[in-house]
Amino acid sequence: MQAWRRHASAWVHEMVDAFYSTPDASDEGTVRAADDVPMQLTKDEARQAASEVFAVLKKWSDHGRGRVHAGDTDGRSLYLALLTVQPYPERLWERQRD
């Protein structure tokens, strides 16, 4: 489990570093978007919100995969959506309240 955690943590750090390594994404002809959205939810609402967001991401993943399989590769780039839905980390929340 520890090895998996270290690997996952390193991968997430690499993705975040890659996101912020390009100061102006418009120069690349790509799209970059990031946000953090605190939400006051019950456990069931959080589960539903995550399910809905993941469904949208899967829809677009399937769409792109289908277009590539159909031979429509012009102008396509591989994008990554990195998303976590979790309780706000208490140690970070404490800093926000100070």
How far apart are the C-alpha atoms of 52 and 11, rounded to whole Å? 25
Closest to 68 in 3D by CA, of 53, 57, 81, 79? 79
Element (H, E) at 40: none
Q: Give the tens place of pLDDT for each residue, 65-90.
A: 999 999 999 999 999 999 989 888 88
Q: Is the pLDDT of residue 24 over 70?
A: no
Query: Which pTM was predicted?
Result: 0.76
Q: What ranges do the domains of the chain cover?
A: 41-98
Cα separation values, 20 from 16, 17, 41, 72, Å: 6, 5, 29, 29
Q: Is 84 helix (H, G, I), strand (E, B) or coil?
A: coil
Q: Give the tens place of pLDDT for each residue, 30-52.
A: 888 888 899 999 999 999 999 99
